[in-house]
Structure 1
Amino acid sequence: MKVKEDTLDLFYGMEFQHVPPFRTQLLKWIGNKQRFAHKIASYFPKDIRTYREPFLGSGAVLAALQPPNAVGSDIFGPLMEIWRCLHESSEKLTDWYRTRYVEFITVGKTEGYERIRARYNANPNGPDLLFICRSCYGGVVRFRKSDGYISTPCGIHDPINPKSFAQRVQIWRRRTGGANFRQMDFEEAMSLAHEKDLVYCDPPYVCSQTILYQGQGFSLERLMQAIADCKKRGVRVALSIDGKKKSGRVDCELEIPDGLFEREVFLDCGRSMLRRFQREGESLEDEIVHDRLLLTY
């Protein structure tokens, strides 16, 4: 089903959000929705009591929506250390990045990156993860299944300079000003939702992210049960999940309970971020991805 954004209210008989594009990225993250976060948010109802995002990642949809009341959460400690620092001390967050950027440039690009990555792997932490996600190859942070070791090599690009990053920090601090950031599992986060809340779920994708952050340990069955529990309580849920890959030639088959979702929308995500990493220098016209957006309302 494809409906123009400016006709959503008439089509569904519900007042929806009208969100302009916002593409100033803070964190690079696999599955980042920055380019089309505004399209996702345009399917959210306008009367949201509290916006909740239990798989926060890069926070792209949260920043595009700019809700006055929100809870952004994730089970991954180093990631949430970054988000909490954004609000608690934006100057410290900027300093984290600046310090590692200087180390990166002074020691030498590849050697500097590998030193920062080795430090993170010895003791996972937010400050090192912050710089790694902006400087690793393709922005694809891969975590080894056995021990969470980051294996992604240094990127060929130059990471943004500290001044540009500091400017982004201030923009993001303002746009997420209504959010409370907490480290917790998605089931706990969703259990706290109340009637009229909106929960947006962007979990690891079943068909494409098994070698990436939390992909190997994620249970779609647990998530579906949590969504069903929310729906019973009058909590609206929107779920981004595998849709079509190989430029629409392949449908991603998922076990989705009958009757759980009221609507299904496919969004053009452009070329696969993971394939760009795996097929450097190749043409990717055959790797256009379409996300599936499922709505319980």
Structure 2
Amino acid sequence: MQLKLEIKEQIESTETNTTLGVQPYKTQLLKWIGNKQRFAHEIISFFPKRFGTYHEPFLGSGAVLGVLSPNKAEAADSFNPLISIWQALKKDPEIVKNWYRERWLEAQDGEKVEQYEKIKARYNQGANAADFLYLTRAAYGGVIRFRKADGYMSTPCGAHKPIHFGTFGRRVDEWTQRVRGTEFFHREYAESLERAREGDVVYCDPPYSHSQAILYGAQSFDQDDLFDCIEKAKARGVFVALSLDGSKKSGDTDCAYDFPPSLFEREVAVNCGRSMLKRFQMEGQTLEGEVVTDRLLLTH
């Protein structure tokens, strides 16, 4: 009996995080197409109840991270202007507030689209976190689109009015608390998956080959390399959850992937609603038929 108690204590000592008590959280920091925040709580419900370090190799807008609010996590992205926002948030949230406030006020000093284009042009002259932060809030539908040849951001100004800097500042305060247990890194996804150890959880939300090839510089992304990294992590006892596009056009178009047999033990369909990307591509039409379903694939 004593031995069983000691083993139980050893196991519990490695369990840093829990999904118990996790509640939906809808307040977004960045406006970002493909954001999983509306159904992040559903995704998290398939994680183990208790686990070690949480890893998110494709951070993006941090939707699942923000809802989970883990005690210990490593979050990463290969896109430096983006991850620099998160690193600044962790180091000194006032910096992030100032970045947004300055550009929000700059955008008021003239015609809306013209000012947006000035900020976008400045970003394209020298990619930086401060301008990129404002652009994520002001671009059409949170669509972050780059040209493959030179990384030029080409998304036009959105019809909406970006939130006031005071409102954004309050969001920064909330998110600072939600990511207090997270360390942020600029690195490729393979390194993040390599760092995961037995008992850890990794959530992967990579660019979708069937619907997001124009976004985030994702044109050269190789799904097969990702599957190989996941297979190695699974062999070490890591729990991996992977979001992939499952169907488009209300289920009429299946998005097939050729991943290794027995790599995933379970698959769950997650209804993502109507496609904002398709709406952007078709000039803002209301698209009742363009419903997207994600596949949530689980290694255990």
Bin for the TM-score computed over the shorter chain:
over 0.9
Task: Map residues 43-82 of structure 1 onto 2, 5 A cutoff.
Answer: 43-82=46-85
2:246 is aligned with 1:238: no
Point out where structure 1 has 5 or more consecutive residues left out of the alignment.
1-14
Aligned AA for 2:252? R
2:29 is aligned with 1:26: yes
Residue in structure 2 matched with residue 116 of structure 1 by the alignment: 119
**Take 1:226 and 1:71, find their aligned partners in 2: how far apart are those partners?**
17
- TM-score with structure 1 setting the length: 0.93
Specify the structure having the higher radius of gyration (Cα). 2
Whether the 8 Å contact between 1:240 and 1:291 is mirrored in structure 2 is yes
- TM-score with structure 2 setting the length: 0.92
Whether the 8 Å contact between 1:17 and 1:41 is mirrored in structure 2 is no
Residue in structure 1 matched with residue 261 of structure 2 by the alignment: 258
2:272 is aligned with 1:277: no
Point out where structure 2 has 5 or more consecutive residues left out of the alignment.
1-17
Size of the aligned set, in residue pairs, is: 283
Whether the 8 Å contact between 2:279 and 2:286 is mirrored in structure 1 is no
**Take 1:138 and 1:191, find their aligned partners in 2: how far apart are those partners?**
34
Residue in structure 2 matched with residue 147 of structure 1 by the alignment: 150
Residue in structure 2 matched with residue 216 of structure 1 by the alignment: 219
Task: Map residues 94-173 of structure 1 onto 2, 5 A cutoff.
Answer: 94-173=97-176
1:15-45 deviation per Cα after TM superposition (whole angstroms, max 9, x unaligned): 9655321110100122111111111111111
1:182-226 deviation per Cα after TM superposition (whole angstroms, max 9, x unaligned): 100000111011100000000000100111113202110110000
Q: CA deviation at 1:124?
A: 0.4
Secondary structure, aligned partner of 2:231 = helix
Secondary structure, aligned partner of 1:264 = strand
Whether the 8 Å contact between 1:199 and 1:236 is mirrored in structure 2 is yes
Whether the 8 Å contact between 1:240 and 1:294 is mirrored in structure 2 is yes
Secondary structure, aligned partner of 1:107 = coil
Task: Map residues 285-296 of structure 1 onto 2, 5 A cutoff.
Answer: 285-296=288-299
2:180 is aligned with 1:177: yes
Q: CA deviation at 1:269?
A: 0.4
**Take 2:284 and 2:189, find their aligned partners in 1: how far apart are those partners?**
37
